[in-house]
Amino acid sequence: MALSILTAIIIFLITGIGVGFASGLLGVGGCFIMMPVQFWVYTEMGIDPNTAILVAFGTNLFVVLPTAISSAYGHTKKGAVLWNAAIVLGLTGSAGAVLGATIATHLPAHILKMAFGLAVLAGGVWMLTAKPPTIEEEPADKTWIWAAWGIPIGIVTGMIGIGGGILMIPLFVLVLKFGMHKAVGTSTAVMIFTSIGGLAGYIYNGLLAGVYGAYPIGHLIGYVNPESWLVLVATSVPMAQVGVRVAHLLPAKQLKYVFVVVMIYISLKMIGVFEWLRLPF
């Protein structure tokens, strides 16, 4: 039996709570929650799976935008955002995100999911085993290095419909020598830029493909569903502030372990391990 609009709204309101908390706590966009939930809801409501997964990616990035703004504001008040790095990474990342979104519309979804899952798993293992910086001070200004890293981060952001925090945290901590709290805070600021670039890419490519107008879930503008966005942000934006407060109550070491657990879960989910093993996760 197809889902009703009311049921979909309730599911998205609950999902938004988890998305906002994850964004504020971990500096990620919460897309690992939104993507599978949206995809399931859209397909249950009769949308073609190939369209549904791209709409989930595009709408994810739309939700990430206000959630990231909310999180970045909270972290800025705590002094945990390095805005010079965030702007450089964000500008190059947004350009990469447009390219990534374009690539995604021409590749099978299962290939994108598998590649992303493997990349996140490698990042989680790397972060768990590598020795991070032991001090919490601002890293040296590395404008050109920041700019170079922003491009691949943006491409992956656009391809998988994520804010990019899941990739930025290990990069910031292990390569660019950010302290853990500043890595989390700065990643939320960068996601403002990368989500804009990816969102533009999904809208543009969706309109080129003729995806526009009324659908079972509401209306689509390219590969973006404004109705789903409105419901998800209704709870994700205020919950992001709760996540920020919790993040700054946890020691950096504990915050790192929380993040690693989330990364490993995301990777196994995207690769399909739980589905293969028939586990209800």
Mean pLDDT value across residues 43-58: 88
**38 vs 43: CA distance, rounded Å:** 8
Give the pLDDT confidence score for residue 200 in this predicted structure.
Answer: 95
The structure's pTM equals: 0.81
Q: Count the residues in the chain.
A: 281
Mean pLDDT value across residues 116-129: 75
Torsion of CA 159, 236, 238, 87, to 10 degrees: 0
- The answer to whether the CB of 202 falls within 8 A of the CB of 54 is yes
User: What tokens does 16 get?
Assistant: 């938004």
For 72-81, how does the pLDDT look when each residue is reduced to its tens digit (9 = 90+)? Answer: 888 898 888 9
Give the pLDDT confidence score for residue 257 in this predicted structure.
Answer: 78
> In this structure, which amino acid lies at residue 113?
K
Mean pLDDT value across residues 135-140: 57
Tell me if residue 46 falls in helix, strand or coil. Answer: coil
Of 116 and 264, which is predicted with more confidence? 264
DSSP states along 137-169: -PPPP-HHHHHHHHHHHHHHHHHHT--SHHHHH
246 pLDDT tier (thresholds 50, 70, 90): confident
- The answer to whether the CB of 33 falls within 8 A of the CB of 22 is yes
22 pLDDT tier (thresholds 50, 70, 90): confident
Mean pLDDT value across residues 246-274: 76
- What's the distance, CA 68 to chain centroid? 9
How many C-beta atoms lie closer than 10 Å to residue 177's C-beta? 16
